[in-house]
């Protein structure tokens, strides 16, 4: 495939660089160096910047800025509301008198940002550096109990092995989510609070379509990089085009973990490309 020189130059592609070409939506694709795609997923600037090209604008709120107690009170109110329900109406109901002006100031400083998903509803997000520094892991026990839905009590992850898997143990480490997602291409999350935390950390990547996820009937959350899905989806669909196959058989033929196969299949089922004929057995639609 031949690309115009100005495209290669603007992307900073040099001889020997690995590139990736992934679907962004029905009519669009993303083409870039693999290192730049991973940087975009984590919200980091790319490692290289071609000469003559402008640097990407940095967020107005730098990590050196200080969040006051008054502002932190407003951020805690936002954080107490699930991201999917963090709409203007719900936030207005939750804010105490006098907090609306502080929220407006937080928006001006880019500490609080607004986004629209496919449903067209405006939702509020908290800048990752602020969340990590002031909110992550600092919610009180009472707040956690209030936020958890009564119908979905947290359950321990059932383990078949004598020892938990290494990636499950790493979920308790700081910033392990993005590291695991980047290294293995997918994540399986067993509880709602952790899934909400990951959603907040990867808001930008989710909006760009670089990270996809769904919740299965087993109440676990399955999340994957779009590049990981694109790498294996066609192979998996080829195996189940004629008849349904169990996940274990598909994983053996493809050569990846069963959880990785489940993640791809559950996400493909959201778009109607596959159907689960019986538990853990899928067929192409």
Q: 277 and 181, same structural domain?
A: yes
**Co-location of 121 and 82 in the same domain:** yes
Question: Does 190 lie in the same domain as 96?
Answer: no
Is residue 26, in this structure, part of any structural domain at all? Answer: yes
Tell me whether residue 219 is in a domain: yes
Q: Which pLDDT score is estimated for 21?
A: 66
CATH number at residue 216: 1.10.10.10
Report the 10 Å Cβ neighbour count for 266. 23
Q: Is 190 within the bounds of a domain?
A: yes
Residue 58 covered by a domain: no
Taking alpha carbons only, the member of 205, 224, 204 closest to residue 214 is 224
139 and 172 fall within a common domain? no
Residues 193 and 138 in one domain: no
Indicate whether 206 and 253 sit together in one domain.
yes
Q: For the chain (length 285 residues), average pLDDT per consecutive 10?
A: 60 70 62 67 51 45 72 88 84 90 90 78 83 69 47 48 49 60 87 84 84 88 92 93 93 93 92 88 90
The reply to whether 60 falls in a domain is: no
The pTM score is 0.43
Position 21 in a domain: yes
Q: By residue range, what is the domain housing residue 12?
A: 5-42
Indicate the Cα dihedral angle 191, 193, 196, 197, nearest 10°: -120
What distance in Å separates the CA atoms of residue 94 and residue 114, rounded to the nearest whole number? 17
Cα–Cα distance, 113 to 107 (Å, whole number): 6
pLDDT at residue 50, as a whole number: 46
Domain total in the chain = 3
Q: Is the sign of the CA dihedral 259, 117, 126, 85 positive or negative? A: negative
């Amino acid at each position: 495939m031949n690309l115009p020189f100005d495209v290669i130059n603007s992307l900073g592609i040099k001889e020997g660089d690995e590139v990736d070409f992934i679907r962004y939506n029905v009519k669009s694709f993303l083409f870039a160096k693999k290192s730049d795609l991973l940087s975009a997923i984590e919200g980091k600037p790319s490692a290289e910047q071609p000469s003559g090209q402008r640097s990407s604008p940095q967020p107005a709120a730098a990590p050196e800025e200080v969040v006051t107690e008054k502002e932190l009170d407003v951020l805690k109110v936002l954080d107490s509301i699930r991201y999917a329900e963090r709409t203007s109406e719900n936030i207005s109901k939750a804010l105490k008198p006098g907090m609306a002006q502080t929220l407006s100031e937080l928006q001006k400083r880019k500490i609080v940002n607004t986004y629209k998903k496919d449903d067209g509803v405006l939702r509020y997000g908290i800048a990752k550096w602020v969340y990590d520094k002031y909110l992550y892991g600092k919610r009180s026990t009472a707040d956690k109990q209030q936020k958890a839905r009564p119908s979905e009590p947290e359950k321990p992850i059932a383990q078949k092995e004598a020892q938990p898997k290494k990636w499950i143990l790493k979920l308790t480490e700081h910033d392990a989510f993005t590291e695991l997602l980047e290294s293995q291409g997918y994540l399986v999350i067993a509880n709602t609070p952790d899934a909400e935390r990951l959603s907040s950390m990867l808001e930008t990547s989710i909006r760009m379509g670089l990270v996809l996820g769904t919740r299965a009937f087993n109440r676990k959350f399955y999340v994957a990089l779009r590049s990981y899905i694109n790498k294996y989806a066609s192979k998996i669909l080829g195996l189940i085009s004629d008849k349904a196959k169990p996940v274990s058989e598909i994983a053996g033929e493809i050569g990846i973990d069963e959880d990785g196969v489940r993640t791809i299949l559950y996400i493909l089922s959201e778009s109607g490309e596959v159907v689960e004929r019986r538990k853990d057995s899928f067929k192409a639609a």
